[in-house]
Amino acid sequence: MSKQSLYFKRTLLGIIFAMLFLPLLQARLKFFEEKPLIGALAEPEYRRFSWKDWFSSTYQKKKEKYVNACFGFRNSCVRLNNQVDFWLYRQANANGVLIGKENYLYERAYIDAYNGTDYVGLDSIENTANRLAYLTHQFNRRNKQLIVVFAAGKGSYYPEFFPDNFRLKKQNKHTNYFSLRKQLMAKNVPLIDFNAWFLSLKKKTKYPLYPKLGIHWSHYGMSLVADSLIKAIEQFQQFDLGNLQTSGISFSTTAQFEDKDIGDGMNLLVDLEGLKMAYPDFHFEQLKTKKPNVLVVSDSFFWGMYNAGISTVFDQTHFWYYNKQVYPEFQTKELFTYQVNFEQAINANDVFIIMATEANLKAIGWGFLERAERYFKQRN
């Protein structure tokens, strides 16, 4: 065997050993800084050895789960795998995410909502509308205000970029959105329909109201919604509230805030190209006037306004996220809605906002409406 051949084999063997040991060294020493993965990812518990766990087989299973989730360069390997699947198959390795034309990103639930695939039927819609009409009356009797808010939906706003196999020749009007909207308007339930408003502005707006790579309205669109919501509460309850004050606006092709939440969740090596987005610099005006207490039961579409500080406009603001977690309390200590004294919550608040986007209208309120209905009927 020649020296050159021997040198080549030793070098190759060294490279193989290095590749085998590098993940171990990275896991222990972290000598390369990896970009963290985005999404609902929980690191498994590190299990120390014990004979009890060994003989019950729990140690082996938990240790295997930990090693598989925490080996060196795992994040980079996941991103590489996701990138290859995207390049070769236009596949998104993220739960429920679909890639539309020109790389517009969707969640399947929003396409199903627009197409009417998730339609719950007229009987269910009528029950929800009747319940909301009943609650409107009960709140009004107590000088309180119920407001139903339809958040804009990406399916309704960008149907032209749906994947071909999800595009309909004609828009389906038998959807939860159209049916519930019609029922609420007929029953005079206070309704703010930002979905319809966004569509009316689509060809007029200077800046995108919906991002290409996110599922929520754009940061700019959210600022318009927050301003409109404050003014609506002023009209309904005759309060003089602080306005949203804008001092300037900047632009960026690098998405900020919630404008790339789906794109981030895909965990790619190379970020997708988005739209040029507008980012207003705004704050909420503080007035020393009487302010209402507001309870918001909403999906994730309220988060943008909440994080931007809309709660400072009101006296007290409670956000019941999916009618499950109670904010702001949950930020410091876990508090769930079933732990809240419901009678105190009703009595303490002046305005009740029930908000959902089109993909969540089939479950709007997430149990709050039924609980409130039972509460009032028990006291009437």
**Domain residues of the chain, as ranges?**
34-71, 97-379
pLDDT tens string 308-330: 999 999 989 999 999 999 999 99
CB atoms near residue 253 (< 10 Å): 9
Indicate the length of the chain as a whole number: 380
- Mean pLDDT for 25-41 is 66
What's the predicted TM-score (pTM) here? 0.87
Q: Which of 51-55, 234-238, 337-341 has the lowest mean pLDDT?
A: 51-55
> 273-304 pLDDT, tens per residue?
999 999 999 999 888 878 899 999 999 999 99
The SS3 of residue 127 is: helix
Strand order, beta sheet including 191-193: 191-193, 145-150, 351-356, 294-298, 317-321, 325-327
Q: What is the pLDDT of residues 184-196, one digit of tens each?
A: 999 999 999 999 9
**What is the model's pLDDT at position 43?**
64
By DSSP bridging, strand 244-252 and strand 351-356 are unpaired
Measured in degrees and rounded to the nearest 5, phi and psi for residue 320 equal -95, 95
Pairwise pLDDT comparison (22 vs 122), residue with the higher score: 122
List, in sequence order, the alpha helices (H) in 106-175.
Answer: 108-115, 122-141, 154-157
Which range has the worst mean pLDDT, 83-97, 108-122, 341-355?
Answer: 83-97
Q: How many CB atoms are located within 10 Å of the residue 46 CB?
A: 10
pLDDT for the residue 289 = 79
CA distance 14 to 4: 15
pLDDT score at 156: 96
C-alpha to C-alpha distance for 116 and 55, rounded to whole angstroms: 53
